[in-house]
Amino acid sequence: MTILKSSICLLLALISASAFAAENPWTLNVHFENDLFADTDLNYTNGMRVSWVSPDMQDFLDDKQATYAWVDNLNTWLEPLHPALDVDAQVHRNIVFSLGQLMFTPEDKFKQELDKSDRPYAGWLYLGIGYQARTQDKLHSIELNVGVVGPAALARETQNLIHDVRDIERFHGWDNQLNNELGIQLIFERKRRFTPADKYSVANLETDIITHWGGSLGNVATYLNAGGEWRVGVSLPSDFGMSTLRPGGEGNNPGIGDPKNRPLQAHVFLAADARAVAHNIFLDGNSFSESHRVDKKHFVADVTIGMSVVYKNWNLSYSQVHRTREFKGQAKPQRYGSLSISYSY
């Protein structure tokens, strides 16, 4: 109870103080992914997430001379996750709060009966809390998502609302979706940014490469993943690349310094992520009850191309994602669009 009260007090204090601490801001990230951006309506068909990245916890506590013993304990317990320090490097720590929903559908929207040759209907609604430890060129993240898979995820209702508003035919087979099941997912990921010493001579462009590796454990998804991102542009931001709905992919943390002083920054990026998948509830079906399932592929890859613009408090990015086939019998690879808007305050 003491920890709960202290955490609530810390959260309220961080929110109230953020308006007065421009150099220690919150960042609000809104992500929207949909295959209609690629003129399709199937497989991974829609994803939404809202997340808040806190100010640096230790800097805030030092500035306010506040004492929260559990925060110190948390930093101590998770210190093995902190990046290795270079000379004169400093570790910044952030908490990430998130709310998200994903939905998955088969290819034939008109078929009411169960199609055993295609993937299950499924929805995933979750709350998440994450912990980030970062230096200038390294970011280590751990994230816990807890939610529900099945009708309680409200994927059917969400999709019907969107389709009705846009005057699109509804999917007719939602009665066949996965059963309700508590979902737990623990994710870890490590990122590192490599920056050349010199800028390109052409138009004074900058470039960097951001690598990542990690994994997920839980009844929602269990996998190992690795990949990277190459960015080229004008005045690259000091973050850790594009932020996506991929668990652990929140790279747009507040950064260091007052966001209102950021100049116009623009770049294009090319990214890839490869996964060795042991379990995927959206293909393997329910863990504790009988449900529809398909024969998944154990190796899946995403290739992403897009652009990002940063100006003062705002960050806007859009990308197209190309995903390899996820299960045997899938007619063709998946394509969808990803839009992210971030505001630091």
Cα 74 → chain centroid: 23
Task: Among 3-12, 254-263, 293-302, name the most confident range.
Answer: 293-302
Q: Report whether CATH 2.40.128.140 matches the domain 2-344.
A: yes
Question: pLDDT at residue 124 above 50?
Answer: yes
Enumerate helices (H) and strands (E) in the chain, giving the number of each: 5, 12
- Which has the closest alpha carbon to 35: 134, 109, 96? 109
Give the model confidence (pLDDT) of 157-184 as tens digits: 999 998 999 888 999 999 999 999 999 9
Which residue matches tokens 């992914």?
33
Question: pLDDT at residue 7 above 60?
Answer: no
DSSP string, 313-325: TEEEEEEEEEE--
Please give the Cα distance from 300 to 319 (Å, whole number): 19
Cβ within 8 Å of residue 127, ≥6 positions away = 98, 99, 145, 146, 147
At 196 the pLDDT is 83
For the chain, the first-to-last Cα distance in angstroms comes to 30
Domain boundaries in the chain?
2-344
Quote the pTM value.
0.86
Which residue matches tokens 């209609």?
36
Task: Among 177-186, 203-212, 250-259, name the most confident range.
Answer: 177-186
